[in-house]
Amino acid sequence: MFSWAPIPTGDFVHHIKAVHDSIDSYIRQHQHSARSHGSNQTFVLGSYSCPLQFGNRMHEFLNSAVAAVAANRTLLWSFAEHHNVTAATCDSLLHRRTWMLQAPEGMHIRNLRLRYADTPRRLACAPLARSSQDLVVSIGQVQWHQAAALAFASTTYIARRASALFALGADFAYGALFHRAFAWARPAVVDPVVRALVDARLIMQRPRLRESDNWGIREQSRTDSSAPWISLHLRHFTARSESNSTLKAYWKQTLQALTARAPHR
């Protein structure tokens, strides 16, 4: 995963608060302005879908969210139906936070049509400032961390806001935006994950979970706070590549690599 975010330095506790404060301040401002339809409003359109190609589609949305926060434009959402994936299916797994509004039909949208390799350079110079004549902007199918390049935007105002958002790097910023924009559905997603962690004896039987934290598992719920947790993202393109034999082979190779790198006792 490529990233163009600034390298985090200094007081991490301070940076964590600063990142969350920048997002929360943006939400407080725009959850009201989105409903007032003021004449000076400008927007960024963020499209997403799930569960198929969830990572790519969510990164499209999160890059748009970064652009919205950095340029101080109101974020609008739309659901991108593809490959017979419907909004109802996605809604059973993932819930939108209520502060976001759906993009009205018939809006004129300026699509910047950004994609991959040249996106950081083009995005850093894109007409995203609120003074731009483009009322609604879509940045395109941007599926990595390219929007982190806005920390180096040619517009000082955008660069300053983006730098605050990326004070702890791209992964933290994108994760914080995701949790502020969406919440996992508990019956379909959270409960099965919790059961798997309990069965693996990684957490206590009854961890305290809160939707406001997006069901995050707190440190005190872990059975061994010193044991590292390793998360793997298995990229696949077809149903065949999700077979148990493929997953087992991948996991076996991962364990071998971790064992080889572990310090000898």
**Residues 124 and 101 grouped into a single domain:** yes
Give the whole-number percent of the chain exceeding pLDDT 90.
27
* Residue tagged 């793997």 (tokens): 232
What's the rounded Cα separation, in Å, for the pair 255 and 96? Answer: 36
pLDDT in tens, 62-110: 999 999 999 999 999 999 887 778 899 999 999 999 999 999 888 888 8
In a domain, 3, yes or no: no
**Residues 104 and 211 grouped into a single domain:** no
In a domain, 5, yes or no: no
- Identify which has the larger pLDDT, 251 or 29: 29
In a domain, 159, yes or no: yes
**Residues 178 and 190 grouped into a single domain:** no
Task: Please give the pLDDT value at position 25.
Answer: 94
DSSP H or E run through 95: strand 94-96
Task: Please give the pLDDT value at position 209.
Answer: 80
**Residues 164 and 87 grouped into a single domain:** yes
Residue at which a domain ends, from 184, 219, 254:
184
**Residues 144 and 29 grouped into a single domain:** yes
| Strands ordered across the beta sheet of 136-140 | 101-102, 74-79, 43-48, 136-140, 110-114
pLDDT in tens, 163-206: 999 988 889 999 999 999 999 998 898 888 888 888 888 888 77
Instruction: List the domain range (segments joined by +) for residue 214.
Output: 185-227
The pTM assigned to this predicted structure is 0.81
**Residues 65 and 145 grouped into a single domain:** yes
First to last CA, the chain: 33
**Residues 98 and 200 grouped into a single domain:** no
